[in-house]
Amino acid sequence: MVRSAQPGGHDGAVGDDEETRALEEPVRGPVPAATSVLRDPVVDLARVACILLVVVAHLLMVGAGLDPSGRIVLSRPVEEQPWFVAATWVGQVMPLFFALGGFTAATSWRRRRALGDTAADFVRSRTLRLAAPALPLFAVVTTALVIATFAGADPALRDTIAAGIGVPLWFLAAYLLVQCLVPWLLALHERAPRGTLVALAAAAAIVDLARFATGSREVGLIDLLFVGAFVQQLGFWYADGWFGRRSRLQLAAIAVAAYALAWLGVVAGWHAPNMLTNLDPPTVSLMLLGIAQMSLLTLFHPALGRLMASRSVRAAVSFVASRALTLYLWHMPVIVVVAGATLLLPGLAPAPTDAAWWLGRPAVFALVLVVVWLISSPLARFERFVEAAPAGSRAPSTAAILVAAVLALVPLLGVILRSLDLALAAAGTVLLTAAVVLDRARPARTR
């Protein structure tokens, strides 16, 4: 008997083609039922907005200039602004994105489970959808670093640029980890939703306290699992309609309370006031941000739903979503290349401390989007790996699927433990290639 390899189905990862097609059919409120197949276009709008906000934030963090000796000097202009720390309480959207991923993963896995898919099928689709697009990035970075090394580039500058390019991979590692666990985490949620949420919150708090007591970043990184899984659970609750059943006053009160508790953690000295700092390692404050953000998303859902009722807005969201993962993975390399190119052209590289630099950011943002879109065409095949299984082919074994997931996670987690460099980029290229090969569909056996 041949078990056919399943296509990607309704995956919750960025850039899901089925999700993009579903934007054409809006609904009027949060999906109320756990088994509903209706789409919530506000989720798509929020996810696209999150990605674009990340691109803007990274664009403002890359300042390139020349010192008196003519050497390239990199800076982070936005972090020098007096309003930056306050802005991170709004701009830190990782919790929201994880929760939205939990919503789409829950609806996807429930439907696929009803159609007979196994947990291994789901893990395979998630691994391919996230690891395959990361493969060309690792390969290109490896090639660029080899060329830069032989060209005699400044090692400090080379390593700084490589580390900056690897920043978005932090998210990919944590996201892939909790997405691969969806079949089991959702089962726990369906059995004991409150108990699961409390247990994850308690585990995250214990890790937070251990990190605070020891000062060990490595201990704190355990919360990649617990904080990420907690925020993903909020997406499960959203899919079940819990947030949608709350009144507007209740949603506002929940958001205010969550922000207040997060601020108390800052006042007590447990967490940094900069919410981007609280990302590495993850802290309980991100869980509280996730609660506040999902409450506010539901509070403003009617207005956002009316916005998504516009065909032009849906088209714009669909346009970005169709290459969202490529945009996320490649915007930093493109920002670095654009910043370097402006240094070669007189008059196009004002100092990051000048007003002209800030006034030019919208044009640079548009240029980055255009360049990423241009390079997305040859990279699109890597986003379609899940759908590439020919009819009648068979899926790999469960053991191969689990090994592939581990191989994909290793280099991504490596970027968190140490900055991206030549050795890690080369190892990542090899391991991600192995993961994709293991997860590819096999030819059907013939008698």
Question: Does residue 109 have a pLDDT over 90?
Answer: yes
pLDDT at 99: 96
Rounded to an integer, the average pLDDT of 233-256 is 96
pLDDT the model gives residue 391: 63
pTM (2 d.p.): 0.87
Q: Per-residue pLDDT tens for 137-157?
A: 999 999 999 998 888 888 887
User: Where residue 86 falls among pLDDT bands split at 50, 70, 90?
Assistant: very high
The string of DSSP codes covering 1-47 is ---BPP---S--STT-HHHHHGGGS--SSS--STT-----HHHHHHH
Partners of 66 in beta bridges: 72
SS3 348: coil
> Dihedral, CA atoms, 433, 436, 442, 443, nearest 10 degrees?
-60
pLDDT per residue over 48-75, tens digit each? 999 999 999 999 988 877 766 667 777 8
| d(C-alpha 167, C-alpha 148), whole Å | 20
The mean pLDDT of 379-408, rounded to a whole number, is 80
Confidence of residue 7 (pLDDT cuts 50, 70, 90): very low
Residue 389's pLDDT band (boundaries 50, 70, 90)?
Answer: low
Identify the CA nearest to 427 among candidates 154, 14, 145: 145
Across the range 76-86, mean pLDDT stands at 91
pLDDT at 153: 80
pLDDT at 116 over 70: yes
Q: What is the mean pLDDT of residues 210-229?
A: 93
Whether pLDDT at 394 is above 80: no
DSSP count for the chain of H helices, then E strands: 20, 2
pLDDT, the chain, mean: 86
